[in-house]
Amino acid sequence: MTSTAHWERFRPPHVRAHSRLRLDHVLNVLFYVPAAPLAAALGWPVSAGIVGAAAVSITAEGLQLFSEDRAPDGNDIVANIGGAIAGALALVVYRRRSAQRAVKTEV
């Protein structure tokens, strides 16, 4: 760690026509999928899980500004938040299907 931020190493989010999907991109999404369901399990709103995931992601990438061997990447932040949103959507779909099954069993 250094006491000075290395802003010159920050890579803003970008999409290129020839970009390839890499394992670290997939993992960035997958690691944040549980954020919204975990928030819901704790009794918090699903949106709190997404906001919390965004805060953790931005903090983690921001701390890399002070690292000697890491470079913060805006694409990681986008992937992490995307994973949290995917988890929230999966939770909403699960809840709707559960509610529909409950209605069918009552009839």
pLDDT digits (tens, 9 = 90+) for 56-69: 999 999 999 998 88
Over residues 11-36, mean pLDDT: 86
Residue 101: the pLDDT is: 87
Distance CA 61, CA 10 (A): 9
Could you tell me if residue 3 is inside a domain? Answer: no
With 80 as the cut, is the pLDDT of residue 34 above it? yes
> Mean pLDDT across the chain, nearest whole number?
90
Reply yes or no on whether the pLDDT at 22 is more than 90. Answer: no
Residue 10 CA to residue 38 CA, distance in Å, equals 30
Measuring CA to CA, which residue among 64, 61, 59, 79 is closest to residue 19? 79
Residue 89 lies in a domain: yes
The backbone torsions φ and ψ at residue 90, rounded to the nearest 5 degrees and listed phi first, read -60, -40
Among 9, 106, 96, 102, CA closest to 46: 96
CA angle 90, 93, 97 (to 5 degrees): 140
Structural domain count of the chain? 1
Domain that holds residue 32: 21-106
